[in-house]
Amino acid sequence: MTDIYLDNSATTRPYREVLELMGMVQAEIYGNPSSMHEKGLAAEKLIREARRQISAMIGGRDQEIVFTSGGTEANNLAVKGAAFRYRRKDAHLITSAIEHPSVLNCFRFLEQEGFKVSYLPVSDKGIVDPDFVKSLIKKDTILISIMHANNETGSIQPLEEIGRCIKKINPEILFHIDAVQSFTRLPLKLKEWQADLVSLSAHKIHGVKGAGCLWIKQGVKLQPLLDGGGQEKGLRAGTENVAAIAGFGLAAKLSGENQNKKMAVVGTFKKSFYRTIHNSGINCILNGPLLEESAPHIINLSFPGLKSEVLLHSLEEQGIYVSAGSACHSRHPEPSHVLSAMGLSGKTLEGALRFSFSVLNNEKEVAAAAEATINTVRHLTALIR
């Protein structure tokens, strides 16, 4: 039995080229990038190259990239860094109810610190209404954080419209976007979104865990979260994870090659998977937007009457790896805050599974996983009757 890995929203298998580069860097280019000698310069050159590769992919400037330990740290730096930098009496912040915990929990922390926070509701498809954003903006609003593609359902937020509303009311409000799931899968339109801060992570794009970055628009000021040696222009102290950062740059470059074609292929995996399941006649509900309107790699399905954990482990026994809700916090038995915010409850909420695909999957795997899911759902349903 060969494994079929369909949990690519949780993390992706690193590209072989990335691992080869990283192995070479760890063994040979081990200098500290802050050192002034040749070995330091060699390491610094790799970081510079990664900065160039990532900024080229997103259409930003090299000097606007600040490397972090991942998406969580990038989100913390954006949200807390902006809030503390522009803190004042009655400072007000806005985010959505379906953000990743690395954003939501920053806002909960900031509430305890005295900031006023508004949480935006979403539609039954998991979409934020730009008019609602507009209605919440006050004269004291300093930061708005809304994700691009949701990690549980793949719903895509209308960021261009939201950005336009925000900046029309007050161009000084900072607009942060968590693009961890969409990077390399959807075009990032920094200018059209009128974004100030954008978070990215390496291990979601076939790099490794432990590297990510925050794109900070030139001129935007943040309060650093760490005190230390002044690396990353003083915004992220600590010796850089050179190998992981170099791997991140290469992963971005490789993902960018024929990106549209690759994502069209990933999109067909999602569609054929859903079509097979839907046509089988088993009881199944699509959570989130229509397939063409969501991120190409994610599909969230409910199998009412079954418990997602039971289904997940039954598939695992057959070598198929999927997720119940978001893997980053799915060990917690609480129901998904994303699906709850979309109005799901009871059996639909309890029976939700996320399948997420990548370019490293193939059609055969997708067909086998769909068949296995159908058979498992039929088998488990028969058991509980």
Who contacts 237 (Cβ-Cβ below 8 Å, separation ≥6)? 224, 226, 227, 228, 229, 230, 231
CB 353 within 8 A of CB 308: yes
Q: What is the 3-state secondary structure (H, E, C) of 186-229?
A: CCCCHHHHCCCEEEEECCCCCCCCCCEEEEECCCCCCCCCCCCC
Site map (CB under 6 A) of ligand PLP, residues 270-309, x = contact = ----------------------------------------
Q: How far is the CB of 83 from ligand PLP (least distance, A)?
A: 18
Active site residue 328: yes
**Among residues 92 and 297, whose Cβ is nearest to ligand PLP?**
297
**Does residue number 180 form part of the binding site for ligand PLP (CB under 6 A)?**
yes
Strand partners, 214: 66, 199
Beta bridge partners of 178: 199
d(C-alpha 325, C-alpha 334), whole Å:
10
Sequence-distant (≥ 6) Cβ neighbours of residue 86 within 8 angstroms: 142, 143, 174
Using CB under 6 A as the binding rule, the residues of this chain from 190 to 209 that contact ligand PLP are 201, 203
SS3 94: strand
Cα-Cα end-to-end distance for the chain: 30
- Residue 330 binds ligand PLP, judged by CB under 6 A: no
Contact between 265 and ligand PLP per CB under 6 A = no
Q: Which residue, 75 or 302, is less far from ligand PLP as judged by CB?
A: 75
Residue tagged active-site, from 106, 213, 284, 328: 328
**Which of these ranges, 65-73, 243-251, 281-289, 298-306, lies near ligand PLP under the rule CB under 6 A?**
65-73
- Taking CB under 6 A as the binding criterion, the range among 25-33, 36-44, 175-183, 373-381 that sits at the site for ligand PLP is 175-183
Q: In the set 8, 12, 55, 72, which binds ligand PLP (CB under 6 A)?
A: 72
User: Which residues carry out catalysis?
Assistant: 328
Which residues would be at the binding site for ligand PLP (CB under 6 A)? Answer: 70-72, 75, 100, 102, 147, 151, 178, 180-181, 201, 203, 212, 328
